[in-house]
């Protein structure tokens, strides 16, 4: 619908228009509905204030650090392509950012989310621990509806960002809950964008060396923290983007601003 009341010539008032992508015909929400919708979607997306402006434009691939530059350039290319072309028929509907602390995983996850919101998809950001806590509260007798909504949203929203996956002491309940969420989303082909700094052999992380555990960014494997079933489905539904080897941007900033 055009705001002026005139019929939009692009979509003839339906709010949807036909597009050709890689030779495949598809429908997309029309620009005329997107402008107002994006603002609404952004408000509902629950993006933490620190990351509200995180985008591809303000993400540096750190050209002065050859190793970080290679890793981050690759990460940005994959993330940008996913955001631009989502959802590609027959392709995976998820992204798993995996890498050390401060290497930009959450920043890039939000950058992808914001592109998807601007394209009219509905998405919600959850911190993993916070989501589990909200779901747990919903089992307490006196809880209000908001906490039950958390599980509902995590299961059903079009795009779910799950930040810092596995950053929680593992219990049977945690494992069952995260497995249920990931399985449901996998089965229903709903998008999942997750970040984690846990280790995984699938991205080339070697076994934890004896005695060196204290110096490692993470002493746990992903499978240990979310269970083997959730991990298996995660790999089934996600493209993997590793930021392993990039430098900690927080430390970099701290060094630069030191007196």
* Given 8, 37, 96, 106, the residue binding ligand ATP (CB under 6 A): 106
CA–CA distance, 24 with 27 (Å, rounded to integer) = 10
Specify the DSSP class assigned to residue 159.
E
105 near ligand ATP, judged by CB under 6 A: yes
Q: How far is the CB of 75 from ligand ATP (least distance, A)?
A: 9
Tokens of 41: 């979607």
Residues that bind Zn ion (CB under 5 A): 8, 10-11, 30, 32
Tokens of 237: 């539904």
243 near Mg ion, judged by CB under 5 A: no
Task: Answer whether 101's CB lies under 8 Å from 248's CB.
Answer: yes
* Given 190, 195, 237, 238, the residue binding ligand ATP (CB under 6 A): 195
Provide the β-strand partners of residue 20.
25
* Given 60, 129, 137, 147, the residue binding ligand ATP (CB under 6 A): 60
106 near Mg ion, judged by CB under 5 A: yes
Q: How far is the CB of 106 from ligand ATP (least distance, A)?
A: 3
Sequential DSSP letters for 26-72: EEEE-HHHHHHHHHHHHHHT---GGGTT--STT----TTSHHHHHHH
In terms of CB distance, is 93 or 163 closer to Mg ion?
A: 163
CA–CA distance, 113 with 157 (Å, rounded to integer) = 13
| Listed ranges 3-11, 58-66, 199-207, 223-231: which one lies at the site for ligand ATP (CB under 6 A) | 58-66
Q: How far is the CB of 35 from ligand ATP (least distance, A)?
A: 26
Nearest to 109 by CA among 191, 28, 44: 191
| Listed ranges 7-15, 53-61, 123-131, 153-161: which one lies at the site for ligand ATP (CB under 6 A) | 53-61
In terms of CB distance, is 8 or 181 closer to Zn ion?
A: 8
Strand 159-163, strand 123-127: pairing: parallel
Q: What angle do CA 154, 160, 162 make, to 5 degrees?
A: 90
221 near ligand ATP, judged by CB under 6 A: no
Tokens of 89: 């028929």
Nearest to 105 by CA among 88, 125, 87, 123: 125
In terms of CB distance, is 30 or 54 closer to Mg ion?
A: 54
Q: Which positions from 119 through 178 interact with ligand ATP, judged by CB under 6 A?
A: 164
Binding positions for ligand ATP, rule: CB under 6 A: 50, 54, 59-60, 62, 72, 101-107, 164, 195, 197, 249-250
* Contacts to Mg ion by CB under 5 A: 105-106
């Amino acid at each position: 619908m055009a705001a002026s009341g005139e019929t939009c010539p692009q979509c003839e008032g339906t709010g949807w228009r036909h597009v050709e992508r890689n030779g495949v015909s598809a429908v997309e929400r029309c620009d005329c509905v997107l402008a107002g919708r994006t603002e609404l979607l952004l408000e509902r997306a629950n993006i933490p204030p620190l990351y509200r402006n995180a985008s591809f434009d303000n993400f540096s691939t750190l050209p002065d650090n050859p190793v970080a530059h290679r890793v981050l350039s690759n990460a940005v290319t994959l993330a940008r392509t996913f955001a631009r072309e989502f959802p590609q028929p027959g392709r995976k509907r998820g992204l798993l950012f995996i890498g050390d602390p401060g290497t930009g995983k959450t920043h890039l996850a939000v950058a992808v989310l914001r592109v998807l919101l601007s394209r009219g998809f509905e998405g919600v950001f959850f911190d993993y621990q916070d989501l589990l806590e909200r779901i747990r509260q919903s089992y307490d007798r006196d809880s209000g509806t908001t906490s039950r909504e958390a599980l509902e949203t995590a299961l059903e929203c079009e795009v779910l960002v799950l930040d810092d996956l596995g950053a929680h002491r593992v219990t049977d309940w945690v494992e069952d809950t995260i497995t249920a969420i990931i399985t449901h989303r996998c089965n229903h082909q709903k998008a999942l964008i997750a970040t984690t700094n846990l280790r995984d052999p699938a991205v080339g992380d070697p076994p934890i060396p004896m005695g060196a555990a204290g110096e490692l960014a993470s002493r746990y494997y992903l499978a240990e923290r979310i269970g083997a079933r959730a991990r298996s489905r995660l790999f089934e539904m996600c493209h993997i983007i590793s930021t392993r080897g990039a430098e900690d941007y927080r430390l970099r900033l701290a060094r630069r601003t030191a007196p």
